[in-house]
Chains A and B, each alone.
Chain A
Amino acid sequence: GNSVTQMEGPVTLSEEAFLTINCTYTATGYPSLFWYVQYPGEGLQLLLKATKADDKGSNKGFEATYRKETTSFHLEKGSVQVSDSAVYFCALRKGLLGSQGNLIFGKGTKLSVKP
C-alpha cells in the first residue's frame, strides 16, 4: 500500500545550521508530495509541495525535490532559525478525487533549534 517514512526525531540544531529531514515514500504511479509544518499549539500548515517528478517545492527558505528514482522528497534548509522549531510532516496524495484524495502522512519529525 501507499506509505510515507520520514526520519525519526527529535532533531536538535544550533541556529544557522543546515537542516535535512529525510522522507521516502511507497506508492504506485505519480503521487503529489507535500511537507506540512506544525508550530507549537497550532494546526498543520502547508510548507511546500511538488506534483511531478523533478519538481522542486520551496517556501520560507525550505526546499524539497521530488525524486522519482529514489522515491524521496527530502526537506532542506541552508540556515535554520529558532522560529523554525516545529514538527514537520511529509505526506503524499495519489490524486484529487475520492479516496485517492486522502493525504497519507509520515509520523512527523520534531525540530528544535537552539540560539
Chain B
Amino acid sequence: EAQVTQNPRYLITVTGKKLTVTCSQNMNHEYMSWYRQDPGLGLRQIYYSMNVEVTDKGDVPEGYKVSRKEKRNFPLILESPSPNQTSLYFCASRGEAQETQYFGPGTRLLVL
C-alpha cells in the first residue's frame, strides 16, 4: 500500500530536549516536505526536499533542521524545542512530475 508514515504520532517533551520526527514514504517520490498546522493559520511549510541531499527552507524554518540522506526518508529535527513549536506536524511526498501530494497521518507535539 502506498503511504507516508510518521513516527511518533504523539510526543510530549520539555524545552531544550532534542527530538526527531521520522517520515518515510514507499512510493519512490523525489519531493518531500514538512508542514506545521496551527489553529487559524492553516498549514505552513517548514522545509522541503527535491531529492537526496537537496533541501531548502519553506516559510517557517526557524528552529528546525532536516536531512535527506535516503530517498525514502526525510526526518525533521528540533535541536532545542521551545513551547512555540507545539503544533501538529505533517510530512508529505510527491513524484517529481506528479500533481498529487500524499500526506502522512500527522505528529502531535507538545513542548512543555
Contacts and interface: CB of A to CB of B under 8 A. Distances in A.
Interface in B29-79: 31, 33, 40-45, 48, 50, 56, 58
A45 B33 CA distance: 15
A28 interface: no
B31 A101 contact: yes
B105 A43 contact: yes
Given A44-B90, A96-B96, A99-B56, A106 B104 contact: no
Given A46-B101, A49-B99, A51-B99, A98 B42 contact: no
Contact of A43 (B31, B99, B106): B106
A98 B96 CA distance: 9
Contacts of A108: 42-43
A44 B50 contact: no
Interface string A80-114: 00000000010001001111011101111000000
B42 A103 contact: no
Contact of B45 (A36, A46, A102, A107): A102
A69 interface: no
Contacts of B94: 101
Contacts of A97: 50, 96
B100 interface: yes
Nearest to B54: A98
B50 A98 contact: yes
Given A96-B97, A101-B48, A103-B92, 4 more contacts: A44-B43, A44-B90, A102-B33, A103-B45
Interface of A: 32, 36, 42-46, 49, 51, 89, 93, 96-99, 101-103, 105-108
15 contacts: A36-B103, A42-B105, A43-B103, A44-B43, A51-B99, A89-B42, A96-B96, A96-B98, A98-B50, A99-B56, A101-B94, A101-B96, A105-B44, A107-B41, A108-B43
